[in-house]
Amino acid sequence: MEKVLLANIDNPESAEIGVYEAAGGYESLRKSLETAPDDVIETVKKANLRGRGGAGFPTGMKWMFASKDPKFPKYLVCNADEGEPGTFKDRPILEKNPHLLIEGMAISGHALKAEFGYIYLRGEYPAAKGILEKAIRQAEEKGYIGDNMMGSGRKFRLAVHQGAGAYICGEETALIESLEGKKGQPRIKPPFPVNVGAWGMPTIVNNVETLSNMPFLMRVGPEAYAAIGSKECPGPKLFCVSGHVNKPGVYELPMGVTLREIIYDHCGGMKNGKTLKAVIPGGISTPVLPPDRIDCQMDFVNMPRHESMLGSGAVIVMDETVCLVKVCLRALKFFEHESCGKCTPCRDGVSWLRQILARIEGGEGRAGDIELLSEVAGNITGKTFCPLGDGAASVVLNFIKHFRNEFEMHISRKACPFK
320 near another protein (CB under 8 A): no
Residue 403 lies near another protein (rule: CB under 8 A): no
Amino acid occupying residue 218: M
**Cβ closer to another protein: 142 or 330?**
330
- What sign for the dihedral angle of Cα 205, 66, 55, 168? positive
Answer for the pair 345, 389: CB distance below 8 angstroms, yes or no.
Answer: yes
Q: Is 181 in the site for another protein (CB under 8 A)?
A: yes
Residue 180 near residue 198, CB atoms below 8 Å: yes
State the minimum distance, in angstroms, from the CB of residue 279 to another protein: 12
Q: Does 363 bind another protein (CB under 8 A)?
A: no
Sole binder of another protein in the list 23, 220, 301, 322 (CB under 8 A): 322
Using the contact rule CB under 8 A, the part of the chain among 36-44, 64-72, 145-153, 333-341 near another protein is: 333-341
Q: If binding is defined by CB under 8 A, does position 179 make contact with another protein?
A: yes
Site for another protein in 268-307 (CB under 8 A): 280, 284
Looking at this protein, which amino acid is placed at residue 339?
A: S
**Cα 83–Cα 74–Cα 127 angle in degrees, nearest 5:** 35
Instruction: Decide: is 125 part of the binding site for another protein (CB under 8 A).
Output: yes
- 332 near another protein, judged by CB under 8 A: no
Q: Out of 58, 123, 291, 378, which residue is the one contacting another protein (CB under 8 A)?
A: 123
DSSP assignment string, 153-210: S--BEEEEEE--S-GGGGSHHHHHHHHTTS---PPPSSSPTTTS-GGGS-EEEEEHHH
Picking from 251, 15, 6, the residue whose alpha carbon sits closest to that of residue 128 is 15
Is the separation of the CB atoms in 351 and 336 below 8 Å? Answer: yes
Residues counted in the chain: 419
CB of 341 vs another protein, minimal distance in Å: 9
Candidate segments 14-22, 107-115, 162-170, 361-369, binder of another protein by CB under 8 A:
162-170
Cα three-residue angle 401-86-264, rounded to 5 degrees: 75
Of positions 159, 246, 268, 417, contacts another protein by CB under 8 A: 159
Contact 208, 78 (CB under 8 A): yes
Binding status of residue 163 toward another protein by CB under 8 A: yes
- E strand or H helix at 379: helix 369-380
Q: How far apart are CA 141 and CA 146, in angstroms?
A: 9
Instruction: Decide whether 216 or 251 has the Cβ nearer to another protein.
Output: 251
Which residue number, 22 or 164, has a Cβ lying nearer to another protein?
Answer: 164
Do residues 119 and 212 make contact, with C-beta atoms less than 8 angstroms apart? no
Of the candidate spans 9-17, 238-246, 299-307, 411-419, the one that interacts with another protein by CB under 8 A turns out to be: 238-246
Closest CA to 203 of 73, 80, 61: 73
Nearer Cβ to another protein (9/240) = 240
Choice between 126 and 382, CB closer to another protein: 126
Q: Which of the residues 2 through 41 are near another protein (CB under 8 A)?
A: none
- For residue 301, the minimal CB distance to another protein (Å) is 26
Tell whether residue 164 is a contact of another protein (CB under 8 A): yes
Residue 167 in contact with another protein, rule: CB under 8 A: yes
* Under rule CB under 8 A, residue 330 binds another protein: yes
Reference 89, options 102, 79, 75, 99; nearest CA is 79
105 is an interface residue for another protein by CB under 8 A: no
| Sign of the CA dihedral running 122, 123, 126, 129 | positive
Pairwise CA distance, residues 299 & 281, whole Å: 11
Residues of this chain that bind another protein (CB under 8 A): 73, 82-88, 90-91, 122-127, 159, 161-167, 178-184, 199, 240-244, 248-250, 280, 284, 314, 316, 318, 322, 326-327, 330-331, 334, 337-338, 340
